[in-house]
Amino acid sequence: MTDTHSDVLILGGGSGGYACAIRAAQLRLSVTLIEADKIGGTCLHRGCIPTKALLHVAETADAARHGGSIGVRTTFDGIDMDGVRTYRDSTVERLYKGLSGLIAHHKITTVTGYGTYVGDRAVDVDGRRYTGDALVLATGSNARLVPGIGVGERILTSDQALQLDFVPRTAIVLGGGVIGVEFASMWASLGADVTVVEALPRLIAAEDPWCSKQLERAFRKRGITTRTGVKVVSAKETDSAVTVELDSGDIIEAEVLLIAVGRGPNTAASGFAEHGIAMDGPWVATDDRLRTSIERVYAVGDIVTGPQLAHRGFQHGIFVAEDIAGRAPVPVDDQLIPKVTYSHPEVASVGLTEADAREKFGEVTTLTYDLAGNGKSQILATAGGVKVIRAGSSDSTGPLVGVQMVGDRVGELIGEAQIAVAWEALPSDIAPFVHAHPTQNEAFGEAMMALAGVPLHAHT
């Protein structure tokens, strides 16, 4: 072992890379982690954490605005962006400090610099070569742009939008996927007039259409304009606005335009394809054990096609570390990864949509439990529901294969649904479990009771 050779060499210190580093170190492997920027990657510095901090600011603004409706004398007097920045940055900083401590505690060697793959299991950083018995590629993703529309003063990706030092009076969000919807929700709560433009026929198109319908209805009620089935043709900045031309012929204008049309993998500039790594379009091609075409070279996280989520990256990293250490980990199943959109209201899901379940099983049974019947949701004044999907007809005993939820705070409920779907639980397995009252969690329990033929607070 030299200072430039380790058991495991990892390129990229985001969710996938650092999780792999920690698990490999726990398994007593020597680890070198190469990171061009800051350990923690997109999720900690430009993604999950800062956006959810801003969404919490948004929730607090809504609570202040609506205090009067429950007899609390509050008013919403505006946003202090310095205060918001301090809160957001200190949240990120605390977590970054904790993560850095964890990396040091596990005696992981970190190298700061941009790494270029040079073949085999070797990476060059600033003229120095690092090698590993195994190499893990974890270079993550970046915001995609629309051809002909560049980033500017008022045309932003999520990276710039997170750093805005003002709340726009008006905003156009191009893209109604998770990131677009979260920003639309956040800006609307902070007082902006928001229009979401989405080329597909519905918002959050990766989710069950039932979720899209619920979310679109809630956005309508909140005064967020949604224009689906419409494409942006061009966007031009002036000193005071962005003018956006739609393929419907309409011209709309706002103070800022957020481009949220998905993220592409960081694979073009790191030497992968040039040095023989087989690609799947822009993604690194892997088998289900995350092995690339080169022996003992793995890929994890957003560079592997599939849902781009931090917790998928963590699980990929853990899986690969255990595989390298000779354990026999179970491959990560994208279908069982819970997904949450942290808008107001939230959307959470796991397993199959109804359409996918029908395709796979032929006959399925679905049940939707409306949050109108859930005490805690009524206390919180949130609308929405829990939709559950079971394989087989209503008189059969098929397992639970999909769960979708819409409503404030439902992201916190998806854990139980995930376990039930992953364990292929029958509704009758879950129905006898007691769910604490009053919790929103009861809505899932009630849905299971109804599906098992023993409904309580349901008109079935």
Ligand X SMILES: Cc1cc2nc3c(=O)[nH]c(=O)nc-3n(C[C@H](O)[C@H](O)[C@H](O)COP(=O)(O)OP(=O)(O)OC[C@H]3O[C@@H](n4cnc5c(N)ncnc54)[C@H](O)[C@@H]3O)c2cc1C
Nearer to ligand X, 265 or 398 (CB): 265
Given strand 339-341, what is the order of strands in its sheet?
A: 339-341, 346-351, 400-407, 385-391, 364-370
Nearer to ligand X, 6 or 158 (CB): 158
Helix axis angle for 48-66 and 178-189, nearest 10°, is 40
**Closest separation between CB of residue 414 and ligand X, Å?**
12
Q: Is 57 helix (H, G, I), strand (E, B) or coil?
A: helix
Write the CA distances from 366 to 230, 296, 387, 394, integer angstroms: 31, 44, 7, 9
Please identify which residue in the block is written with the tokens 């793995």: 298
Nearer to ligand X, 13 or 175 (CB): 13
Nearer to ligand X, 29 or 299 (CB): 299
Nearer to ligand X, 44 or 357 (CB): 44
**Closest separation between CB of residue 316 and ligand X, Å?**
8
| CB count in 10 Å sphere of residue 9 | 28
**Amino acid found at 439:** T
**Closest separation between CB of residue 19 and ligand X, Å?**
8
**Closest separation between CB of residue 126 and ligand X, Å?**
11
The rounded distance, in Å, linking the Cα atoms of 416 and 387 is 14
**Closest separation between CB of residue 143 and ligand X, Å?**
7
- Residues of this chain that interact with ligand X (CB under 6 A) are 11-17, 34-37, 41-43, 46-48, 51-52, 114-115, 138-141, 158, 179, 266, 270, 301-302, 308-311, 313, 342
Q: Which parts of 199-345 are beta strand (E)? A: 225-228, 232-237, 242-246, 251-254, 256-259, 263-265, 279-280, 283-284, 297-299, 339-341
Question: Does residue 457 carry a catalytic annotation?
Answer: no
Residues 35 and 17 sit within 8 Å (Cβ to Cβ): yes
**Closest separation between CB of residue 392 and ligand X, Å?**
32
Write the CA distances from 422 to 266, 352, 401, integer angstroms: 31, 11, 8
The rounded distance, in Å, linking the Cα atoms of 40 and 140 is 11
Give the closest residue to 323 by CA, choosing from 299, 306, 343, 339.
299
**Amino acid found at 339:** K
Nearer to ligand X, 42 or 292 (CB): 42
**Closest separation between CB of residue 290 and ligand X, Å?**
12
Nearer to ligand X, 149 or 450 (CB): 149
Residues 66, 105, 344, 437: which is the catalytic one? 437
Q: How many CA atoms lie within 13 A of 390 on its CB side?
A: 25
Catalytic residues, by residue number, are 437
